[in-house]
Structure 1
Amino acid sequence: MTTTDYPDYNDYNGSYPMVDLSDFVPCDVGETWKLIRRFAPVAYSVVFVLALVGNILVLCVLRRYRQAQRGPCSYSLTDTFLLHLAISDLLLAFSLPFFAVQSADKWVFGKVTCKIVGAMFSLNIYCGILFLACISFDRYLAIVHAVSTGWRRNSCHAQLACAVIWTTCLGLSAIDVQYRQVGDVNGVEVCKMEFPKESSKQIMVGLQLLNLLLAFALPLLVMLYCYMRIFRALCHTTRRQKRKSLRLIISLVVVFVISWAPFNCFRLVESLAMLDLFKKDCKMAHVLDIGTVAAESLGLAHCALNPLLYGFVGVKFRRELSQMCKVALGPRGCQELGNWWQGSRRRTAGSFSSVESENTSRFSIMV
C-alpha cells in the first residue's frame, strides 16, 4: 500500500459523515502499514503466550489453595477478586491470536467470530480494571475502617460483586456484537466497528469518551483515593506484615496505570481531533497511528504482567507455588529451580491514519 487516494469514510471505524474533500491532502500510509504489520503480530503473540502460561499458573495455585479450605465461600475477598482478575486476563489473551492474524494478513475468521472475539476483548478490558478497583476498595475497608473479620471471611459478598461486574461489562460489550463487521479497508478484510453513516462521528466520540471514563478514569480515582487513605493509616503502625500485604495489590494497580495511561492519552487526542478542536495533518496522523498501536500493545501486556507480580511480591503465592513445585518436580528439581529463581532476582534487583480526515486510528483493535 502506497500513497492513498481520498478515503472511503466508511472504512476503519464505521464511516465519517460525508465532508468536503477539497481541504484534504492524501497521505502516504505505506510505511505506517509496514511498521504495524511487523510489530503488532509479534507483540500480540508474545503477550498471548506469556499471559496464557502465567494466568493458568495463577489459577492452579488458587485452586490448590482452595482445596485446603471448606465451603463455597472459603476464599478471602481479595483472593476472590484476584481469581476473577486472572480469568479476565486469560480470556483477554485468548482474543489476541485472532487480531495477530489480522495484523499480519487479514481477517479470515468470518463475521460471527469477529463479533464474538471483539465482544470478548471489550468485556475483559472493562472487567480487568474494575476488579483492580474492587481489590483496592476491599483493602481500604479492611485497613482504614477495620471491617470485622467475620464479615471478611465470607467471600460470597465478593462473588456477588464479581457477578455484577461481569453482567455490567457483558452489557457494555454488546456494542461490539451489534456493530462489529468484517469490511474492506484499502483492499484488506478487517474486523472493525461500523456505525450508521449519519451518526458515525457522534457515536465514535461518545464511545471513546465512555471507555476513557468507565475503563480508566473513574476506577483509577477510586484506587488512588483508597490507597492514599491506606498509606495514611499505615503511617501510624509498625506492623511489617501489614505493609507487606499491600505490595501485591499496589504493584498491580501501578502496572495497570503505566500500561493503559499512554493508550488512553492517544485516544483522548483522537477524540479531540474528531471534535475539530485542532487540525490533524498527515504527520500527526502517522504519529497517532503508530503511537496508538504501540500504547495498545503496552496496555495489553498487563494481562501477562500480573502473574509475574504474584511471583515477586505475593507471599502466599510463593508458598503455594513452592508446594506445587515439590509435587511436580521433586525436592531436587525444586531446589535447582529455587536457586535459579534467587539468582534471577539478584540480577534484576536494580530495575523495577493515515489520512488527516479519518476519525480515529485505523490500526487499533479497540474503538
Structure 2
Amino acid sequence: MDKVHVAPCIQDDIHGFAQSYSPAVYSLVFILAVVGNVLVLCVVRRYRSSQSGGVCAFSLTDTFLLHLAISDLLLALTLPLFAVQWADQWVFGLAVCKISGALFSLNRYSGILFLACISFDRYLAIVHAVNSGLKRNTCHAQIACALIWVMCLGLSGVDITFKQVEKVGSFSQQQRPMCVTWFTEKSLQWQVGMQLVNIVLGFILPLLVMLYCYIQIFRSLCNATRRQKRKSLRLIISLVSVFVLCWAPYNCFQLADSLQKLGVVSGGCQFVRTVDVGTLITESVGLSHCALNPLLYGFVGVKFRRELAKMCKDLLGRRGLGIEEWGQRKRRKTTVSLSSAESENTYYSVMV
C-alpha cells in the first residue's frame, strides 16, 4: 500500500512480483478474515444476548476482543480493493483511496492497543486480584475502547492527508493509477517522522506494556493452581505472540527505510530494492493477522469452541423443531448460561 520511490532505481522486478503475489494473498486473507471474524461476532452476540445487566455486565476480556474483531473486519473489507489495484490499477477514486489507507493504519494502531488493554486487564485480575474490583469495570472498558478508536482515527489522519491516486510505473512499463502514500521532497520529513511514530507508538511502547504485564503475571502464577486463569492466559499470550510475529518484520523494514532516508544507512539501489520487496512481503504477513485471531480462538479457546458448537446446533435445530418447542429449549439454555455466568462472576469470558 505504501510506496517507496527512488528515481534512479529501476524497479521492474518489484512491480512484476507485486502483480503476481499481492492479489492472491490479499484475496485469501480477505476470505479467511471475513468468515472468521463474522463467526466471532456472532458467537459473542449470542453469548451476550444470554446475559442480563446490559452493556456493563459484559466480560472485560470479551469487550476488548469484540472491538479487536471489529477492527480486523474493517481492515479485511479493504483488501479486495488493493487486490484489484495490484492486479490491474486503482479504479475506485480518491475518496476510497484515502478511506482505505486510513482503515489500514487504524487497524495497525487499534489492534495492538486492544491487545495491550487485554494484557493490562489480565494483570489487574491476576496480580492484583484482591483490590482491582473497582478498577475492572466493564463500563470503563467501553470508555477505554472509545478513546482508543478516537486516538487511532487521529493518527490515521496522516493517510487521509497524504494518500493520493498517482500514476506509478517503471521505465519499461506503462504507468498505472495507484493508491499510494505520496510524499514530495518537501514532505520527506513527514514521511520519516510518521514511520518512526508508527514504530514507536504502534508497536514498541504497547509491546513493552504487554511484556511487563505478562512477566508480572507469570511471577504471580508460579505457585498458582487455578486452571481457569492459566487457560485464559494461554489464549491471550497466543494472541500477543502471533501479533508480534506478524508485525515485527514489517516494522523492521519500516525502520530500515527510515534510516536510509535519514542517511544513516546507505546501500544504493540494491538496498532500496531489498527494502521494497521486504516491505511488500512483510506487509502481507502483517495483514494476515486479521485472519489468524479467529483461528486462535478456535484452537486455543475451549469455551469459544463450545459456544460456537452450541450456535451451530441451534441453527441446525431450528429446522426440525417447532417454534414453541424451540423457544422452550432456548429458554432452558439461557437459564443454564445465566447460572454458569453467575457462578463464575465477572471473570467468565466466552473466548477462553
For Structure 1 versus Structure 2, the TM-score category normalised by the shorter chain is 0.7 to 0.9
Instruction: Quote the Cα distance in structure 2 between the aligned partners of 1:147 and 1:114.
Output: 49
Match of 1:185 among 165, 168, 181: 168
Letter in 2 for 1:110: G
**1:323 aligns with one of 310, 333, 337:** 310
**Aligned ranges for residues 89-108 of structure 1 at < 5 Å?**
89-108=72-91
Secondary structure, counterpart of 1:266 in structure 2: helix
When normalised by structure 1's length, the TM-score is 0.81
Pairing 1:308-319 to 2, within 5 Å after superposition: 308-319=295-306
Which of 30, 41, 55 is matched with 2:12 structurally? 30
Whether 1:74 and 2:57 are equivalent positions in the alignment is yes
* TM-score normalised according to structure 2 size: 0.84
User: What's the CA shift string for 1:27-82, capped at 9, x where partnerless?
Assistant: 44222211111111111111111000000000000000101111121211111000
Question: Aligned equivalents of 1:72 and 1:49: distance in 2?
Answer: 30
1:42 partnered with 2:24: yes
Report the residue type matching 1:195 in the other structure.
Answer: F
Uncovered stretches (5+) of structure 2, i.e. residues with no partner? 170-174, 319-352
Farther-moved stretch of structure 1 (304-313 vs 31-40): 31-40
Of 58, 61, 68, the residue aligned with 1:85 is: 68
- 2:230 equivalent to 1:243: yes
Superimposed CA distance per residue, residues 137-196 of structure 1 (whole angstroms, 9 cap, x where no aligned partner): 000011011155754774111000000000000111111112211111121111122335
1:150/1:137 CA distance change after superposition, 3 Å: closer
CA pair 197-277 structure 1, distance change in 2 beyond 3 A: closer
Aligned to 2:93: 110
Matched residue, 2:280: 293
> 1:141-156 maps to which residues of 2 (within 5 A)?
141-146=124-129, 150-151=133-134, 154-156=137-139
Structure with more of its chain in helix, by fraction: 2
User: What's the offset of the Cα at 1:283?
Assistant: 2.0
Q: 2:156 aligns to what SS in structure 1?
A: helix
1:285 CA drift (Å): 2.0
1:288-335 deviation digits (Å, cap 9, x = unpaired): 11111111111111100000000111122112111112112349xxxx
- Per the alignment, do residues 153 and 233 of structure 1 end up closer, same or farther by CA in structure 2, a change over 3 Å counting? closer
Is the 1:92–1:124 contact (alpha carbons within 8 Å) kept by the matching residues of 2? yes
Flag structure 1 segments of 5+ consecutive residues without an equivalent: 1-10, 332-367
Query: SS of the residue aligned with 2:56?
Result: coil
User: 2:260 — aligned with what?
Assistant: 273
CA contact (8 A) 1:74 1:153 kept: no
Matched, 1:224 2:211: yes
Secondary structure at the counterpart of residue 51 of structure 2 = coil
Conserved? CA contact 1:75–1:153, under 8 Å: no
Establish whether residue 256 from structure 1 lines up as the match of residue 238 from structure 2. Answer: no
What's the CA shift for 1:230?
A: 0.4
Q: What SS does structure 2 have at the residue aligned with 1:73?
A: helix
Query: Match of 2:59, as an amino acid?
Result: S
